[in-house]
Amino acid sequence: MLKNNLGFPRIGSHRQLKKACESYWSGKTSLSELIEVGKKIRIENWKLQRELGIDLIPSNDFSFYDHVLDHSLMFGVIPQRFEVLKHLPEADQYFAMARGYQQNGFDLKAMEMTKWFDTNYHYIVPEFTRFQTFKLNADKIISEFREAKNEGIITKSVIIGPVSYLLLGKEKEEGFDKLSLLDRLLPVYCDLIARLVNEGAEWIQFDEPFLALDINYQTKDALRVVYQTIRKEFPALKILLATYFDGLQDNILAAVNLPICALHLDLVRCPEQLEEVLPKIPEDFTLSLGLIDGRNIWKTDYQKVIPIVEKAIKTLGTHRVMLAPSCSLIHTPCNLENETKISAEIKDWLAFAQQKLIEITEIYEVVVNQKIECLTKNQASIQRRQTSTLIHKPHVKTRVAEVKSSDLNRKSSFLERQIVQKDILNLPLFPTTTIGSFPQTDEIRAIRAKFKKGEISVVQYNEFIKLHTQKVVVWQEELGFDVLVHGEFERNDMVEYFGELLSGFVFSENGWVQSYGSRCVKPPIIFGDIERKTAMTVEWSKYAQSLTQKPMKGMLTGPITILQWSFVRDDQPRSSTMMQIAWAIRDEVVDLEKAGIKIIQIDEAALREGLPLRQTKRAAYLKNAIDAFRISASGVQDETQIHTHMCYSEFNDIIENIAEMDADVITIETSRSQMELLEAFAKFNYPNEIGPGVYDIHSPRVPSVEEMEVLLLKAMEVLPAQNLWVNPDCGLKTRKWPETQQALRNMIEAAHRVRERV
Ligand code: GLN
Ligand code: ZN
């Protein structure tokens, strides 16, 4: 029974990779220093996994920015516009594709970025053209394989399977289907495999997550062709095909009929599939049981998992079973041992990536070597959590259980509200605003760190934040913004800030998870019933509003996003936890209104990301999510304008649901996709107001007035002018000030020019 790992966090246990990348980008360190940091992380990871007893240790799970972009580079899928950078070192071309390039007279937009399935990890979308060609550049994968081999570890290279790689990409021209590129791509995969085999590779892991999604028969056919071809060319290669994030369901036959050696199943997301898959497994097949949750941080209950392992063993025999996490561990933090502040009681319930690998080994020991003490120790923790007094609050549960329909609805319809609000707010056409945060400078971070360490007092800290707030209020007025924000300087993070003020949350010090590129997030851990202890934002919003006559937006994070960007307790349905948060946010919305705030934004950045991957599960999720949003937003009078904001997303299939949220204004990402998204809103006749992001804040590039003007004109073609707002596509906290000032100045100018045209 092999112990199999699908992928290990690559950012380093203290975010070394983030720091190294950012230092290289800012010109402070050299490329060779960056490369050294990467190498060190990889070697540490491999050695650790060997020490922990993992048999199939992954390589090529490392990436300097994104593993999908690595594949694009590996196959020569480099958009034409980056050709002009051919003279640069490969790393710089790579980072240019990821982040855009605005230097030495060049001005190249970054490639599009989108969420990796239903996670908060973002990948760079491959761009395919009709006559797309592929050319192998295997340097990275091969050198990583050799690196590990030098350490005496024969790794299992992880690659995205050809079908999933194509499906992850986007057709940049009309008139072809990306899957049709397979004929050209497959030979390049075969060259790649040949190289790996030549280096001594025994196992290769092909990730084909689309097998756990709704796919058509062409896709199944493509999978068959791919793996038959690979099998034929490399009869001795051990192919491990990994699926995750949902179950195989109607794709079971398609999967088990593939000529592969091992199939990995996500038995955390979809435990029921085992029952169906087991009897269909061919004789020579191994099953990798994804039993340890790769998407959450709770200790595994061995008592629940061991019978499943035993069942698989009974059908297949020990040697045809593998133990594994449900998916790559990049979605969990590195090491629980680095946590010093989580109380011992709660720490006892948790497992991060490193601990999850230990769990695999322990389960192995219990099953194979009857090491019962591992089980006993585990069961003691599980029981302590179940009986803890920290978790349950009956009055919170009662409130959530007693929802009335009036709790879910605004007093009047949108059209009626729009009239009242236009009257009160008196905004021009194309009102300008931002999404909330302004650059969090090193100075601000340093002060916050000091405050957290107790080196400065609350009073000093608050004075400092006030000063910054005041500066941006003045600055926004000077620039001519119509609706102002306070800048969110008091917030470390849009979820953590609220979590710290709500009950039921606990925070890690080093629980970082990669979100995109060098950006990492530290999801709070929701362990118990949630309630608002005191007002969370009212004082700050009131202060900011007192500095200006212009409307100041109150700024909150919505229930879906708080849930989605946290590690959520697994002892009650997610929807129950989401409703508890919704009520807490509603209380805050009502208090903001009472304090004189006329516009309140409830960010639901993660609504789309939480959408179940399988069609059949979506309706239930959307119903709960929309209800939660409506509960949080519906406690106010008609005059109060509710905004919501959503990030990087594909909304086409859920516009109807977004409309049901009934926010007065929604601001969304559209700029990397050149407003393509708006057509879907137009087709649906989206009734409420909308602010399509006119520039991409995920890249340091400064957009010109003209290009934003063009985007606004495009928007005007499809949506009524009186419903349009002008804003960047997300918050600005990760940007630097100079580019932000320049970009926003241009944005305001673009809004003015468009106003003059109507
Ligand atoms: N208000 C938040 C900010 O501006 C929204 C960020 C987000 O949607 N990711 O940072
Ligand atoms: Zn956003």
Are 250 and 225 in contact by the 8 Å Cβ rule? The answer is no
Write the pLDDT tens digit of every residue in 608-630: 889 999 999 999 999 999 999 99
Compute, in angstroms, the gap from residue 605 CA to the centroid of ligand 2.
5
Q: How many helices (H) and strands (E) does the chain have?
A: 27, 21
Least confident of 124-128, 641-645, 649-653: 649-653
> Residue 606 C-alpha to ligand 2 middle, in angstroms?
9
The residue type found at 415 is L
What is the mean pLDDT of the segment spanning 652-666? Answer: 94
CA atoms within a 13 Å half-sphere pointing along the CA-CB vector of 402: 6
Half-sphere exposure of residue 699: CA atoms within 13 angstroms, side-chain side: 23
> Model confidence over 113-144: pLDDT tens digits?
988 999 999 999 999 999 999 999 999 999 99
pLDDT confidence of residue 56: 98
pLDDT band at 648 (very low <50, low <70, confident <90, very high): low
Atom of ligand 1 nearest to the CA of 647: 8
List the beta bridge partners of residue 116. Answer: none
DSSP state of 116: -
Cα distance between residue 567 and residue 570, in whole Å: 9
Pocket test for ligand 1, best of 120, 476, 645 (most atoms within 8 A of CB): 645
Q: What percent of the chain has a predicted confidence (pLDDT) above 90?
A: 95
| Cα–Cα distance, 380 to 384 (Å, whole number) | 6
Any idea what the Cα angle at residue 42 is, between residues 39 and 48, rounded to 5°?
A: 140
Cα 557 to middle of ligand 1, angstroms: 8
Exposure of 450 by Cβ count < 10 A (0-12 exposed, 13-18 middle, 19+ buried)?
A: middle
Mean pLDDT on 721-738:
96
Q: How many CB atoms lie within 10 A of CB 244?
A: 27
Q: Is 437 annotated as a binding residue?
A: yes
On whether 436 is known to bind a ligand per the annotation, the reply is: yes
Integer CA distances (angstroms), 253 to 204, 211, 276, 443, 531, in order? 22, 11, 10, 57, 47
Q: Is the pLDDT of residue 710 over 80?
A: yes
Annotated ligand binding at 486? The verdict is: no
Asked if residue 675 has pLDDT above 90, the reply is: no
Any long-range contacts for 569-577 (C-beta under 8 Å, 24+ apart)? 569/298, 569/391, 569/526, 569/527, 569/528, 570/293, 570/296, 570/298, 571/385, 571/386, 571/391, 575/624, 575/628, 576/397, 576/400, 577/526, 577/530
What SS3 class is residue 598? coil
**In what helix (H) or strand (E) does residue 643 lie, and over which residues does it extend?**
strand 641-646
Three-class HEC string of 522-580: CCCEECCCCCECCCCCHHHHHHHHCCCCCCEEEEEECHHHHHHCCECCCCCCHHHHHHH
pLDDT at 676: 78
Query: What is the CA(434)–ligand 2 centre distance, in A?
Result: 10
DSSP letter string over 56-105? B-EES---SS-HHHHHHHHTT---GGGGGGTTS-HHHHHHHHHH-B--TT
93-99, long-range: CB < 8 A, 24+ apart: 94/64, 94/65, 94/69, 95/25, 95/64, 95/65, 97/69, 97/72, 97/73, 97/124, 98/65, 98/66, 98/69, 98/124, 98/517, 99/25, 99/517, 99/698, 99/699, 99/700
Single out the residue of 617, 480, 598 nearest to residue 544, CA to CA: 598
Q: Which amino acid is at 27?
A: G
pLDDT digit string (tens) for 191-239? 999 999 999 999 999 999 999 999 999 999 999 999 999 999 999 999 9
Rounded mean pLDDT of 29-56? 98
What is the number of the ligand 1 atom nearest to the C-alpha of 605? 8
Instruction: Please answer whether residues 712 and 754 qualify as being in contact, where contact means their C-beta atoms are separated by less than 8 angstroms.
Output: yes
730 is in an annotated binding site: yes
Report CA(558)–ligand 1 centroid distance (Å): 11
Give the residues surrounding ligand 1 with Cβ less than 6 Å away. 435-437, 488, 494, 555, 603, 605, 645, 647, 730-731, 733
Average pLDDT over the chain reads 96
Burial profile 565-590: b = 16 or more Cβ within 10 angstroms, e = fewer:
bbbbbeeeebbbbbbbbbbbbbbbbb
For residues 485-511, give the mean pLDDT.
96
Least confident of 284-288, 368-372, 667-671, 731-735: 667-671
pLDDT score recorded for residue 592: 98
Average pLDDT over residues 641-655: 87
In this predicted structure, the answer to whether residue 391 has a pLDDT above a threshold of 80 is yes
How many CB atoms neighbour CB 713 within 10 A? 14
What does the alpha-carbon distance between residue 360 and residue 309 come to, in Å, rounded to a whole number?
Answer: 11
Residue 691 has pLDDT above 80, yes or no: yes
Q: What does the block give as tokens for 659?
A: 């409309």
Confidence of residue 672 (pLDDT cuts 50, 70, 90): low
Residue owning the nearest CA to atom 8 of ligand 1: 605
Whose atoms come closest to the Cα of 670: which ligand?
A: 2
Contact 239, 264 (CB under 8 A): no
Residue 758 half-sphere exposure, CB side, CA atoms within 13 Å? 16
Q: From CA 642, how far away is CA 587, in angstroms rounded?
A: 14
The pLDDT of residue 670 is 82
Catalytic residue list contains 698: yes
User: What's the rounded Cα separation, in Å, for the pair 290 and 276?
Assistant: 15
Can you tell me the distance from the alpha carbon of 626 to that of 111, in angstroms, rounded to the nearest whole number?
31
Q: Give the residue, by CA position, lying nearest to ligand 1 atom 9.
A: 605
DSSP assignment letter at 257 = T
pTM of the model: 0.94
647 labelled binding-site residue: yes
Give the C-alpha separation, 140 to 69, whole Å.
Answer: 12
How far apart are the CA of 672 and the centre of ligand 2, in A?
13
Determine the Cα–Cα distance for residues 362 and 146; give it in Å rounded to an integer: 30
Which ligand has the nearest atom to the CA of 669? 2
With 0-12 CB in 10 A as exposed, 13-18 as middle and 19+ as buried, what is 408?
Answer: middle
Which of 319, 392, 698, 752 is the catalytic position?
698
Is 198 annotated as ligand-binding?
A: no
DSSP lists the bridge partners of residue 556 as 602
Give the pLDDT of residue 680.
87
Higher pLDDT, 225 or 672: 225
**pLDDT over threshold 80, residue 649:** no
Q: What is the mean pLDDT of residues 437-445?
A: 95
Of the residues 541, 647, 698, 730, which should be mutated to test ligand 1's pocket, given the most ligand atoms within 8 Å of the CB?
730
Whole-complex ipTM? 0.99
Q: Facing residues of 724 across strands?
A: 690
> Band of the pLDDT at 677, cuts 50, 70, 90?
confident
